[in-house]
Chain A
Amino acid sequence: KAGVTQTPRYLIKTRGQQVTLSCSPISGHRSVSWYQQTPGQGLQFLFEYFSETQRNKGNFPGRFSGRQFSNSRSEMNVSTLELGDSALYLCASSSFPGVSGELFFGEGSRLTVL
């Protein structure tokens, strides 16, 4: 079956703009989580959605937001972009909420903020 699909794969924005990233989980998976990966900080948890509800949120400012739709697809939005938001944004899906099982990651959306 198809894996986790993230779009767009690459994008360039300027400071102050906003961006929306999309994630389609593996068919049948209802949990979607988002992570930010940077060379300095590594992988950091942003938030998790299960059945359209945010279950858990990491330590990121309110500029980072997300949502999940009834078909389990998820979007994350970053408003008022800063240079430090340049990163690889990874989406992961799983059958159940939480991390007691395997997470399936997408290939990521690489955001560059100029």
Chain B
Amino acid sequence: SQKIEQNSEALNIQEGKTATLTCNYTNYSPAYLQWYRQDPGRGPVFLLLIRENEKEKRKERLKVTFDTTLKQSLFHITASQPADSATYLCALSPRGDNLFFGTGTRLTVIP
């Protein structure tokens, strides 16, 4: 069956460290993979998109990698801040039609 698994339900890290979130998928061949941030009671907010032929994308303190052989994407937040505390969602699309979401990782950055 098709699955999208995000490494852990919750992740706590110290302020200033790099947070690394993992997204593993099975039985998908995604053309696109996206990462979103969601705060409690709010809708998801787009962060980054990476295509199947791309290995890495960066945006300010954010970096995402995409390994189609390992069927895995890693999402990094460098120099993390308490304001980065949120749930991060991985989402992929096989044909560019719609997104299939993982269940998310709740990140807490401790001051």
Interface positions of A (Cβ within 8 A of B)? 4, 33, 35, 42-45, 48, 55-56, 58, 90, 92, 98-108
Contact = CB atoms under 8 A, between A and B. Distances in A.
A66 to B, nearest CB: 13
B52 to A, nearest CB: 11
The residue in A42, A48, A92 that gathers the most chain B C-beta atoms within 10 A of its C-beta is: A42
B46 A45 contact: no
B88 to A, nearest CB: 13
Given A99-B32, A99-B34, A100-B32, A45 B43 contact: no
Interface of B: 31-32, 34, 36, 41-46, 49, 89, 91, 93, 96-104
B96 A99 contact: yes
Given A43-B44, A43-B89, A90-B43, A103 B99 contact: yes
Nearest to A4: B43
B44 A45 contact: no
B102 A99 contact: no
A99 B49 CA distance: 10
A48 B42 CA distance: 21
Nearest to A47: B98
A92 to B, nearest CB: 8
B43 A48 contact: no
A55 B42 contact: no
A74 to B, nearest CB: 15
Contact of A108 (B32, B43, B96, B102): B43
A53 to B, nearest CB: 14
A105 B45 contact: yes
